[in-house]
Amino acid sequence: MSKTGFEREERIQFEGEDYAFDTLAVRAGQRRTGEGEHSDPIYLTSSYVFSSAREAAARFNGDEEGNIYSRFTNPTVQAFERRIAAMEGAERAVATSSGMAAIMSLGIALLQQGDHVVCSRSVFGSTVSLFNKYLTRAGIETSYVDPTDLDDWRAAIKPNTKMLFMETPSNPLAELTDIEAVSKIAHDHDALLAVDNCFCTPALQQPLKLGADIVIHSATKYLDGQGRCVGGVVVGSDKLMEEIFGYVRTCGACLSPFNAWNFLKGLETLKLRMTAQSQAAMELAQWLEQQTGIDKVYYAGLESHPQHALALKQQSGFGGVLSFEVAGDKDAAFDFIDATEMLSITGNLGDVKTTITHPGTTTHGRMSPEERADAGIKDNLIRVSVGLEDMDDIKADLLRGLAVI
Ligand SMILES: *Cc1c(COP(=O)(O)O)cnc(C)c1O
């Protein structure tokens, strides 16, 4: 098949065709209206019309495929799903209204009362609340393990363990988990492995190829990349995604077509952004390690990171997020953050604008002090998600912080 020519939309389908990641990121999944538009259209419609009552009946009872209502299917949302599935090397993706809705869909669609989950203790704060409060009410129990310790993962498995859940690299301390090794532990016990791939994105890490069964994303972060929309996605096999789709379609955690369109645009530049933001984070991490007033830097790209070798093995870049401890206590960290002038003080990450966060009182503020201590999140810890501004300007802003501690 020719590699040129734009008119055949099916040409870039990943099923049956072997295109490179960069090509898929730009082209996979696009649907054209027939008007000849080049950019992806937004199908901003809540419902669809039928040519006859007979056709409506056939669609509703499943005899005929096609759109019915945008809580079920929407062409723009499907274009996003097909593109991210292609980029993760998955059979299928199901888009959700947020990253948390993606994680919730795993709990409700794939687990049931009496099931047990083994989860890394270094996962997103709301993920812990979801497991501990809402899934516990549904009779699903969760145990937490040290994400870096394979024996801990093995020891936590019970006869009723149905899912292992991890985030690697973790937020904010960049702890890594060996995806391939943990997938073997999961499969030895007929459990599923789900990976939150938010920090690396498929541009830097493809967990399904390392043995994971499911990948989830908060599309809000790097997939969007410019801090515009909230959304999420689950990817995996047709069989598992059919269950997830059933939950999303019925319970309503569906993605808006407008947000899906923004994510489609974000995916087109994902690899470029991830490469540039990883390079910038690496430079900044090395620079921060040299500064007086910085006690410790957490970034898997540094040779001082205990899991640097694992990062080299399972990732193709180190990502754009790093964190560091400043000399002093919480007040020193607050003073440092407040002295910056350009960086955005926000809990969000993955934006082209560099953001600065005090995890202990924001993203991880709902954990108890003991839970935070267990997770290694100290009061003097600051997280930076490196954007695309000029590196000298970013350093100059951090120097303003360093000057006041
Ligand atoms: C932000 C985030 C989530 C939650 O995603 P939302 O889109 O905010 O619901 C889940 N996991 C990680 C790692 C995140 O950073």
The domain that holds 295 is classified in CATH as 3.90.1150.10
* Ligand 1 mean position, distance from CA 249 (Å): 21
Bridge partners of residue 344, in order along the sequence: 355
DSSP 306: T
Do 44 and 104 reside in the same domain of the chain? Answer: yes
Expressed in angstroms and rounded, the spacing between residue 124 Cα and the centre of ligand 1 is 7
pTM: predicted TM-score of the whole model, two decimal places: 0.93
Residue 144 lies in a domain: yes
Q: Are residues 229 and 283 in the same domain?
A: no
What amino acid is encoded at 152 in this protein?
D
Residues 244 and 285 in one domain: no
Dihedral angle sign, alpha carbons of residues 181, 155, 373, 107? positive
Give the residue whose CA is nearest to atom 8 of ligand 1.
99
Q: Identify whether residues 91 and 204 lie together within a single domain.
A: yes
For ligand 1, residues with CB inside 6 Å are 98-100, 124, 126, 167, 171, 196, 198, 218, 220-221, 230, 232
Give the span between the Cα atoms of 142 and 271, in whole angstroms. Answer: 34
Q: Is 1 a member of any domain?
A: no
Number of structural domains the chain divides into: 2
Domain of 38, CATH number, reads 3.40.640.10
Nearest atom in ligand 1 to 100's CA: 9
Distance between alpha carbon 402 and the CA centroid of its chain, in Å?
A: 31
Cα(58) to ligand 1 centroid in Å equals 38
Segments forming the whole domain that contains residue 179: 11-268
Residues in the chain: 405
* Residue 43 within any structural domain of the chain: yes
| pLDDT by position in tens, the chain (length 405) | 333 222 333 344 465 667 888 999 998 988 788 888 999 999 999 999 999 999 999 999 999 999 999 999 999 999 999 999 999 999 999 999 999 999 999 999 999 999 999 999 989 889 999 999 999 999 999 999 999 999 999 999 999 999 999 999 999 999 999 999 999 999 999 999 999 999 999 999 999 999 999 999 999 999 999 999 999 999 999 999 999 999 999 999 999 999 999 999 999 999 999 999 999 999 999 999 999 999 999 999 999 999 999 999 999 999 999 999 999 999 999 999 999 999 999 999 999 999 999 999 998 888 889 888 888 899 999 999 999 999 999 999 999 999 999
pLDDT score recorded for residue 14: 60
Q: Which of 213, 244, 268 is the last residue of a domain?
A: 268
Domain match, 163 and 287 both = no
**Atom from ligand 1 closest to the CA of residue 102:** 9
Q: Are 348 and 220 in the same domain?
A: no
Same domain, residue pair 242 and 110: yes
Helix (H) / strand (E) element for 167: namely: strand 161-167
Say whether both 296 and 359 belong to one domain: yes
Domain membership of residue 4 (yes or no) is no
CA 19/CA 13 separation, integer angstroms: 9
In a domain, 3, yes or no: no
Instruction: Ligand 1 pocket test: pick from 119, 127, 201, 218 the residue with the most ligand atoms within 8 Å of its Cβ.
Output: 218
Query: How far does residue 6's CA lie from ligand 1's centre (Å)?
Result: 35
- Among the atoms of ligand 1, which is closest to the Cα of residue 230? 7
Which residue has the least CA distance to atom 12 on ligand 1? 124
Of 215, 236, 268, the residue that ends a domain is 268
Q: Where are the alpha helices (DSSP H) in 112-237?
A: 125-129, 136-137, 150-156, 179-188, 201-204
Q: Is 196 part of a structural domain of the chain?
A: yes
Tokens 């180190």 correspond to 318
Same domain, residue pair 111 and 144: yes
Are 116 and 213 contained in the same domain? yes
- Give 49: exposed, middle or buried? Use CB within 10 Å, 0-12, 13-18, 19+: exposed
Question: Chain-centre distance of CA 118, in angstroms?
Answer: 19
Could you tell me the two tokens for 90? 């998955």
19 within some domain = yes
- Which of 98, 100, 129 best tests ligand 1's pocket when mutated (most atoms within 8 Å of CB)? 100
- Specify the ligand 1 atom closest to the Cα of 350: 15
Identify whether 112 is part of a domain. yes
Q: State which of 239, 268, 297 marks the end of a domain.
A: 268
Q: Are residues 358 and 392 in the same domain?
A: yes
Do 231 and 330 fall within a single domain? no
Cα–Cα distance measured from residue 227 to residue 343, given in angstroms and rounded to the nearest whole number: 14
Q: Which atom of ligand 1 approaches the CA of 199 most closely? A: 13
218 CA from centroid of ligand 1 (Å): 5
